Amino acid sequence: MGFFLQEAPLFRQVRVGDVLRVEDRERLRLNWRRIRGRYVEQPRLNFREWVAVEEEGEGWVQVVTDQWGEGMEDRVREAGLVEIEVETLSLEEIYGYVMGGMNRPVTHGG
């Protein structure tokens, strides 16, 4: 099991007594993003780079990263995605991905 104290300045994830991740809340908000886009051709995404990847059908894909930074949106475009939408995740959503409860299976497309 894990725990999450929203009022605490740090996010701590514990599983079977091991601390797996400790990060400042603001750093989490800066680094985690959900990116949704459409691809015309087969996407050229490196699926190992993403926390989660979900194909939504009709060429739409949603990816989650914990390494958002300068140039990331350009990398997504270079991978073949268009009509890109970027969202910040809530602390609860981040917790879900870290703990695996919201993590979706990676699909490699068509």
User: How far is residue 10's CA from residue 22's CA, in Å, rounded to a whole number?
Assistant: 6
pLDDT by residue (tens digit) across 9-67? 444 444 555 555 667 788 888 999 999 999 888 778 777 788 888 888 888 999 999 98
Q: Which SS3 state, helix, strand or coil, does residue 46 take? A: coil
pLDDT band at 68 (very low <50, low <70, confident <90, very high): very high
pTM greater than 0.85: no
Q: Which domains, ranges and CATH numbers included, belong to the chain?
A: 31-99 (3.30.70)
Q: Note the pLDDT tens digit of each residue in 2-17.
A: 434 344 444 444 455 5
Cα separation, 71 vs 24, whole angstroms:
23
